[in-house]
Amino acid sequence: MRYDLDGSVESTRFESQPPLQERNEEAIMGWSAQQSRRIVRLFVLLIIFGLFALIFAANFRVVVINGHSMEPTYYHGERVLMTWNYWLFGPIRKGDVVVIDLPGGARLIKRVVALGGEEVPRQYWGPAIWRMGTRVPPNYVYVVGDNLQQSEDSRQHGAFPLSWVEGKIVGSYREIP
């Protein structure tokens, strides 16, 4: 309480503030509303992250390079990102690196040097050229490794059907020693 000069007594509590108990209840209610907003935000972020993970799993696969036929572009043990929905990144073109799924389960990772209907460049001719000719048949691809001395590819086996192309390499990950 406070006494004024005229002797009247006034209350020191401000009329605009609620009592302490009401203020504590408001603070608790405000905290729970704030917490519920945080929980909703977290839930929304988890849903978004889950959708991205689902899209990634449905469209991409990590493949490990086995061998030295693609050096110096990709090294043995390096991980590359392959998509089987390669139309997301455009159709297969000359210069693309593709994964070819051979009958029997083996895989080749090679660079496309000629598409169906195109002439095979002379520097990539091999024994298979004498069997198939210099022009790639329609719906086939002619592929070679970047390390020509260590690569088993279309020069030995001929062109591969497009139906054997499992996917297209769209990225890589190299561990730093």
Instruction: Look up 69 and say whether it is catalytic.
Output: yes
CA 86/CA 60 separation, integer angstroms? 9
How many residues would you count in the chain?
177
Choose, from 36, 69, 94, 151, the residue flagged as catalytic: 69
Alpha helix ranges (H) inside the chain: 20-59, 127-132, 154-157
Instruction: Look up 110 and say whether it is catalytic.
Output: yes
| Sequence-ordered strand ranges (E) for the chain | 2-3, 9-10, 60-64, 79-83, 97-101, 107-115, 140-144, 160-161, 165-173
C-alpha radius of gyration, the chain, whole number: 34
For 56-75, letters b (16+ CB in 10 Å) and e give eeeebeebebebbbbbebbe
CA 46/CA 52 separation, integer angstroms? 10
Quick check: helix, strand or coil at residue 97?
A: strand
Choose, from 11, 94, 110, 163, the residue flagged as catalytic: 110
Question: Which residues are known catalytic residues?
Answer: 69, 110
